């Protein structure tokens, strides 16, 4: 069985990460269990795509179930290791939330236009908690999980490294912090990989940074690449 390898970029030092980040704090309670492998890119100033590609390259000689995860996520599912294996068995790329369709000029997995109009509920999938710690402040129930999707939220993405290598799927490093997940899903679709959501309980501290200047720059690059 391949090991699970968490891949996370953080601005914290390794010591700060363990006590000041949501992911670091939540991982500490599992210290008595058999820990997964962990690639922590501390004091990081590179784009997420660059960091994640480094992990994909590392896995060429050391295959693993890669889990690309943000540092502001608390893992509150006691069975998250088992859930990750199940997700990787069901889909080539799995996430926590996503959309079963993709529409022209879509600015994010959940929205259908640049005015951030939500897509219809029938197309949305997954559940994510929001807040700091547990119990969380609220839960977004987008729709049933374990549905095949066209787009996935990048807060947590799960993929078997060997399937990524076989398909030649990587992150596009022109998308540093925005649209890296949208582009990754588009590439996966073009290469015939399956994508879908899987139920793993997490709490996300961030609500996203939609509409900022850097976000709009990413959106323009995304539209230039795909023309829709």
Q: Which of 29, 152, 149 is nearest to 80 (CA)?
A: 29
Cα torsion through 159, 90, 152, 22, rounded to 10: -60
8 strand-pairing partners: 40
Tens digit of each residue's pLDDT, the chain (228 residues) = 899 999 999 999 999 999 999 999 999 988 767 779 999 999 998 999 999 999 999 999 999 999 999 999 999 999 999 999 999 999 999 999 999 999 999 999 999 999 999 999 999 999 999 999 888 999 999 999 999 999 999 999 999 999 999 999 999 999 999 999 999 999 999 999 999 999 999 999 987 778 889 999 999 999 999 988
pLDDT for 134 equals 83
Entry field: residues in the chain: 228
pLDDT for 133 equals 80
Mode of pairing for the β-strands spanning 93-95 and 97-99: unpaired
| Contact present, 47 and 96 (Cβ < 8 Å) | no
Task: Identify the three-state secondary structure at position 61.
Answer: coil
C-alpha distance from residue 72 to each of 75, 96, 130, 223 (Å): 10, 15, 10, 28
- Locus of tokens 């050391």: 62
pLDDT for 184 equals 98
Q: Which domains occur in the chain, in start order? A: 4-226 (3.90.550.10)
Which pTM was predicted? 0.95
Enclosing H/E stretch for 196: strand 195-197
């Amino acid at each position: 069985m391949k090991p699970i390898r968490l891949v996370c970029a953080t601005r914290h030092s390794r010591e700060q990460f363990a006590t000041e980040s949501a992911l670091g704090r939540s991982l500490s309670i599992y210290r008595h269990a058999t820990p997964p492998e962990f690639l922590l890119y501390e004091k990081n100033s590179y784009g997420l795509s660059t960091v994640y590609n480094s992990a994909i390259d590392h896995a060429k000689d050391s295959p693993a179930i890669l889990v690309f995860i943000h540092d502001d996520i608390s893992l509150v599912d006691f069975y998250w290791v088992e859930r990750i294996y199940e997700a990787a068995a069901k889909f080539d790329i799995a996430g926590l939330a996503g959309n079963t369709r993709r529409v022209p000029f879509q600015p994010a997995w959940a929205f259908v236009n640049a005015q951030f109009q939500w897509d219809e509920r029938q197309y949305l999938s997954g559940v994510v908690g929001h807040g700091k710690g547990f119990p969380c402040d609220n839960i977004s129930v987008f729709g049933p999980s374990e549905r095949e999707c066209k787009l996935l939220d990048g807060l947590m993405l799960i993929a078997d490294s060997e399937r990524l290598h076989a398909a030649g799927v990587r992150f596009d490093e022109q998308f540093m912090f925005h649209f890296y997940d949208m582009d990754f899903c588009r590439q996966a679709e073009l290469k015939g990989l399956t994508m879908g959501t899987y139920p793993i309980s997490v709490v996300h501290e961030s609500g996203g940074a939609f509409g900022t200047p850097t976000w709009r720059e990413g959106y323009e690059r995304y539209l230039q690449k795909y023309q829709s």
